[in-house]
């Protein structure tokens, strides 16, 4: 699976660590860059747009965005048609994000998560399949909202 990855200045150190962990786990990591270090401040919306474009175009099956709180990144990602981004703080939310919501972008809060926890959350999120069933109906309703149409 190809995973597009980016981080702002808050997640720069975690991005390098997570990229190495994912590659060791057999994932094809497309490190899209972002802030080169924790001192070079960058604006996250462009980073989010870049990763989301990779996912929507099918060049990456999933995306991971690292930010300080992850809140702004989640909002920015979810403005892109075709993206369902989930901000996950633990293994439970990672499982729900993928299993129930078929999220295709994971957002992690680099300021609040220990690196080991972030790695576990990403691994769980990437390994969790979408459940389908009643959840597929709900995802279809989310997609209808995104198109501005009536709910099915």
pLDDT in tens, the chain (152 residues): 999 999 999 999 999 999 999 999 999 999 999 999 899 999 999 999 999 999 999 999 999 999 999 999 999 999 999 999 999 999 999 999 999 999 999 999 999 999 999 999 999 999 999 999 999 999 999 999 999 989 88
Which pTM was predicted?
A: 0.96
Task: Report if residue 6 sits inside a domain.
Answer: yes
Number of domains in the chain: 1
Task: Report if residue 56 sits inside a domain.
Answer: yes
Q: What CATH number is associated with residue 38? A: 3.40.1400.10
Tell me how far apart the alpha carbons of residues 53 and 98 are, in angstroms, rounded to a whole number: 19
Q: State the pLDDT at residue 149.
A: 87
Q: State the pLDDT at residue 24.
A: 97
Structural domain for 13, as ranges: 2-147
Task: Report if residue 114 sits inside a domain.
Answer: yes
Residues in CB range of 100: below 8 A, 6 or more apart: 131, 135, 138
Task: Report if residue 152 sits inside a domain.
Answer: no
Q: Which residues pair with 4 in a beta bridge?
A: 30, 63
């Amino acid at each position: 699976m190809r995973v597009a990855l980016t981080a702002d200045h808050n997640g720069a150190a975690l991005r390098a660590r997570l990229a190495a962990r994912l590659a060791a786990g057999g994932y094809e990591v497309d490190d899209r860059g972002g802030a080169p270090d924790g001192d070079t401040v960058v604006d996250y919306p462009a980073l989010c747009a870049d990763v989301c474009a990779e996912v929507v175009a099918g060049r990456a099956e999933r995306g991971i965005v690292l930010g300080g709180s992850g809140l702004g990144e989640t909002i920015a990602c979810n403005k892109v048609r075709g993206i369902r981004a989930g901000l996950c703080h633990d293994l439970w939310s990672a499982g729900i994000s993928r299993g129930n919501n078929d999220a295709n972008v994971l957002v992690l809060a680099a300021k609040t998560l220990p690196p080991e926890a972030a790695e576990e959350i990403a691994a769980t999120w990437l390994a969790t399949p979408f459940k389908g069933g009643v959840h597929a109906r709900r995802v279809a309703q989310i997609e209808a909202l995104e198109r501005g149409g009536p709910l099915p």
